[in-house]
Chain A
Amino acid sequence: MIRPLVLVVCLAWAAIAGPLAVVVRTEGSVTLTTAKGEKSPKAGDLVLSSWKIATGRDGRVRLRLLADKTLVDLKPSSAMELEVLERADRTLRRALLLSGDAACTLSADAGDFRAETRTAIASGSLAQFDISTGLEGGTKIQVADGTVSICDPSTGDHVVAGAGTTTTSSWDGLAQPVASSPVGAVASQGDSTFSVEVRLVDPASGSSSRLLYGLGSER
């Protein structure tokens, strides 16, 4: 009963081919993996659905979605897959961040756009946010402007994060937005950083807390 239903849902979400974005500019090492193989993209190149774009340690690339002019800036040592998903009642565009960091500037018509990782889905309009992956698949989303709806894919929980807040999502669930630390915000805008989260659990009370070890600079 359930499995056929799930199969139908999956088929309804099948990815479709088609142009999705344009490469606005690149810096350093950038690789675009197409259906025919890999190439180094240049400004003006189209990015089609299901293509993957990756940056090297010194690489950056700016993409602009054709439909609504939303900007996606992929930072060094990051990888992303763009995809168009056709559903019965709508077409969704997905930027799946496989690793690293990206900054998204959503236009007013970005309602069908999703920035995704394995543990979070971010959407909105007229908003700016940074999205980065971390240890154990965790995701950090820092909203710089506007409001962003953030969803935990595994539970369906979602929160609305306003400007100046940071939200984390991991296998353990979605945390409530907290005020961004300028220190963290600067770190996320610089070179890619990575961190280690250690969870501490008090067995008596069941309460848990987290220690975050990061390489973010003091400034």
Chain B
Amino acid sequence: MILTQLLAFALASDTTTLAGMGPEASASVPDSVLEFQLPLAGETVAAQGTGILVQAGASARSVKFAWKGAAAGSASGEAQGYGFFAGSTGPLPAGDWILEASALDSAGHEIAHRAVSFRAASSVLAASNGADGGRTRRVQNLHLLFTGGFRAGSSEDPISSTTDLVPGSGGVAGTGDRWEPVDRNAFASGLAQYDFRQGDFRLRARGSSNLAESWGHGSSPSTAGLDLWYGPWAEAHLGDQYPQWTPTLMDGSRIRGMGMGLAATWRGQTFARADVAWGELKPEVDAQAREFVDGTRDTLPAQYRRSIEAFHVAVGLNTPLTLHLAAIHSKDQSNPLQTALQDSLGGATPEENLAVSGDLNLKLWNGIVELYSGSALSLVTEDVRPSQELSSLGSDNGVELPTFLSDLFTFNLSTRGTERFLSNDGDVGGFFSDNLSFRGGARLAVPLGDLGRGKIDARWVHVGPQFETFAKAVPETPRTGVEWNATAALARDQVLVVASGTDVDDHPSVGADVPTSTLNLSCAWIPVVGGPGAHLFSGTLASGGGDQPRLEGWNAGAGFFGNGRAIVGTFAWTADWTINSTRSRSPSADTLPEAASRVLQNDFEATGKWRPEPDLEWRLGYQLGDSRIPLDSLPENQVQDHRVAAGASRWFLRRRLECAADAGISVRAGEPGTDLSGWNQSARVRWEVAQGQVVRLSEIGSRTLARHDLRLEAGWEAWF
């Protein structure tokens, strides 16, 4: 392992150059030099005082320190060896200070004298690197990436042509542009990013496009954006941005538009901030008629342009008590002509979403205990067409809509949960429960002393079946119950133990509760330096029951890994084995044999990498997937997949040029009548043609399920 790291050191060092003074030079500075290492000129230190470290010339036998500011003090330097002398100021009143150092020779004569100014503050939280950390230096970076190629054989895109459908006269669909996907046989993508920094000002301009994607009904494959920052206090974004202000409401979905943020700092750190963003969540896409390569045709409804406005404010950042508030409003933009065509194609109706959230986090006892909660309430109207607007939720229960709400949001019969209000008893609690997301719990850092560290996290979670926020691309699973996990890292992280579990009711639909519980355990041994390591894991899942479908599953596995010296060179290896069992039962299938719904699967994988010399690597791997239905002794119900792969890499020109080739073959046994064997091979070249410029060439060929494919690709990547 040590050998491997040493060799890798040599490899990595090829990419950078040596700069600056080597540490060995510290011991041989001229007599006239007296250099402060702590504090540095202009540095801010804590009011508790600062250590002092200076480096003096070879003739210096002692160093005296004296400091002046709101008070004065002095100390004698303690020799540290290598020409270094250390001291300490002790507590200092806040303010500006001057520290003087005098180096004396063996006769007591002063041979060097230097002074440095620094500042004492009541608290030092901001990172400082010298006087200004080099921030006044102008820094520019440019990253470029271009890739393109050709594909022969089976196309990855089954669509041969697409024709836009547009509203025609009399409500009949007319045809618009017809186009063919360009990526069936050719593909290209590019990325450019420019960063500029000077002082507190930072700028980033970025853009990318991926012509390898067919842009059907989704987000544009091209992105562009401009970001500006001024210190921690202000930022602005133009173009594509991906805000993640609160995990309950926003998971980083792309907003194409504008955004701004303002922050306030306290003691050098951000204490509060406010952000706003507005723009487009989804672009408008016309309805389409598609023709596939096999001659079949279909139509695809249009996609409405979906706008969004989002707001976020946070207070107490970097303090024990933090509060986040956020709100989003998102609405599909439609017109009657579009809607008529959309209805004729059975497309989605124009929707609207309003959601607010609040997150609270409280850390106690220096972070040992952390209490947290996150809650959000959403309203979704599934059809915003004006004729269905409501001004009241029914006179029987007396719930009148506030006038400001009707200006803000379209409330009508399609608003989720409205039926709760319109029922005779006015189920207000049910309405909130269905549209609410809440998560509250505690984390405890378990003191384990010298043994290591541990953490326990337990929370109660409720996600209503009708809760939805358009600003999350991946919705949360509706559920109610308890979730927990516990982790311990022992012996300097050489032993890790992780356990987690859930006991919740899933809500696949309004009013439905499916009990689900899981339990997972894992343990790993990771040696600090080399040597074999191992990990074990196991888990269970149980869901449903009674009059609902029942699903039970468990898995267990073990793995080993290691590396070290071989007879010649070094060798790294891994071996993992996993067994999975899944059993499902439907209430209506009680008369069928239970075994018919049970599946057992074994997975095994082993890999090895041998480096007989630093610039040559041989790879070998084997995978086995075994799937079968027990208690049914018919041999054809057992399927085995075998895959063997091998490859090699060779480096040239001090590792600036890499040539690699890999090949693999897969065979399926136990399923007669179908040719499921396949193979793949690839070759690639990576050449660092100049400092920060890389050229890549690759060829990939494969055969899977009687499909042949050949792909040639070339790329260039550069950093300036």
* A77 interface hit (Cβ, 8 Å): yes
Residue from A73, A121, A217 in contact with B372 in the complex, judged by beta carbons closer than 8 Å:
A217
Known: A201-B605, A203-B603, A215-B487. A44 touches B86 (CB 8 A): yes
* B512 interface hit (Cβ, 8 Å): no
Chain B, residues 83-101, CB within 8 Å of chain A (1/0): the string is 0101110000000000000
Known: A137-B533, A218-B372. A45 touches B23 (CB 8 A): no
Flag if A219 contacts B247 (CB, 8 Å): yes
Residues of B close to A2: CB separation below 8 A: 568-569, 612-613
Residues of A close to B445: CB separation below 8 A: 57, 191
Interface size grouping (class) on chain B: 35 or more
* A64 interface hit (Cβ, 8 Å): yes
Residues of A close to B704: CB separation below 8 A: 205
* B690 interface hit (Cβ, 8 Å): no
Residues of B close to A93: CB separation below 8 A: 23
Closest CB in chain B relative to A100 CB, distance in Å? 7
Q: Kindly report which residue of chain B lies nearest to residue A54, judged by CB atoms.
A: B492
A126 to B127 CA separation, bound complex (whole angstroms): 14
Known: A136-B561, A146-B141. A171 touches B572 (CB 8 A): yes
Which of B14-22, B260-268, B403-411, B419-427 forms contacts with chain A?
A: B14-22
Closest CB in chain B relative to A11 CB, distance in Å? 10
A92 to B24 CA separation, bound complex (whole angstroms): 11
Flag if A151 contacts B11 (CB, 8 Å): yes
Chain B, residues 241-256, CB within 8 Å of chain A (1/0): the string is 0101011000010000
Flag if B524 contacts A111 (CB, 8 Å): no
* A9 interface hit (Cβ, 8 Å): yes
Which of B129-137, B160-168, B542-550 forms contacts with chain A?
A: B129-137
Residue from B7, B15, B137, B372 in contact with A108 in the complex, judged by beta carbons closer than 8 Å:
B137
Residues of B close to A204: CB separation below 8 A: 625, 641, 643, 666, 668, 676
Flag if B651 contacts A156 (CB, 8 Å): yes
Residues of B close to A10: CB separation below 8 A: 3, 6
Residue from B141, B489, B494, B668 in contact with A147 in the complex, judged by beta carbons closer than 8 Å:
B141
Residues of B close to A192: CB separation below 8 A: 453
Flag if B139 contacts A152 (CB, 8 Å): no
A65 to B453 CA separation, bound complex (whole angstroms): 28
Residues of A close to B133: CB separation below 8 A: 105, 107
Known: A93-B23, A100-B493. A137 touches B8 (CB 8 A): no
Residues of B close to A49: CB separation below 8 A: 23
Residues of A close to B324: CB separation below 8 A: 219
Flag if A42 contacts B51 (CB, 8 Å): yes
Q: Which of A136-190 contact B (CB under 8 A)?
A: 136-137, 145-147, 149, 151-156, 158, 160, 162-163, 171-172, 179, 181-183, 190
Known: A22-B38, A204-B641, A213-B500. A116 touches B84 (CB 8 A): no
* B522 interface hit (Cβ, 8 Å): yes
Chain A, residues 194-219, CB within 8 Å of chain B (1/0): the string is 10101101111110000001010111
Residues of A close to B561: CB separation below 8 A: 136, 171
* A20 interface hit (Cβ, 8 Å): yes
Which of B112-120, B359-367, B588-596 forms contacts with chain A?
A: B359-367
A196 to B247 CA separation, bound complex (whole angstroms): 21
Closest CB in chain A relative to B307 CB, distance in Å? 23
Closest CB in chain B relative to A190 CB, distance in Å? 8
Flag if B666 contacts A64 (CB, 8 Å): no
Q: Which of B19, B133, B246, B457 has the most CB of A within 10 A?
A: B19
Residues of B close to A171: CB separation below 8 A: 561, 563, 572, 574
A153 to B8 CA separation, bound complex (whole angstroms): 4
Chain A, residues 54-93, CB within 8 Å of chain B (1/0): the string is 1001100000111111110100110100001111001111
5 residue pairs, one from A and one from B, having the closest CB atoms: A44-B51, A203-B625, A43-B51, A153-B8, A109-B20
27 A-B contact pairs sorted by A residue (CB < 8 Å): A18-B23, A18-B27, A19-B23, A19-B82, A22-B37, A25-B46, A44-B86, A44-B88, A57-B445, A87-B13, A92-B13, A99-B489, A99-B493, A108-B19, A109-B20, A111-B16, A111-B18, A135-B526, A136-B535, A146-B141, A151-B11, A171-B561, A171-B563, A179-B242, A182-B244, A183-B247, A217-B370
- In the complex, besides A13-B6, A196-B522, A204-B643, 14 extra interface pairs with C-beta distance below 8 angstroms are A18-B23, A25-B124, A68-B19, A111-B16, A112-B19, A135-B524, A152-B8, A154-B609, A156-B614, A158-B15, A196-B537, A203-B625, A205-B704, A206-B623
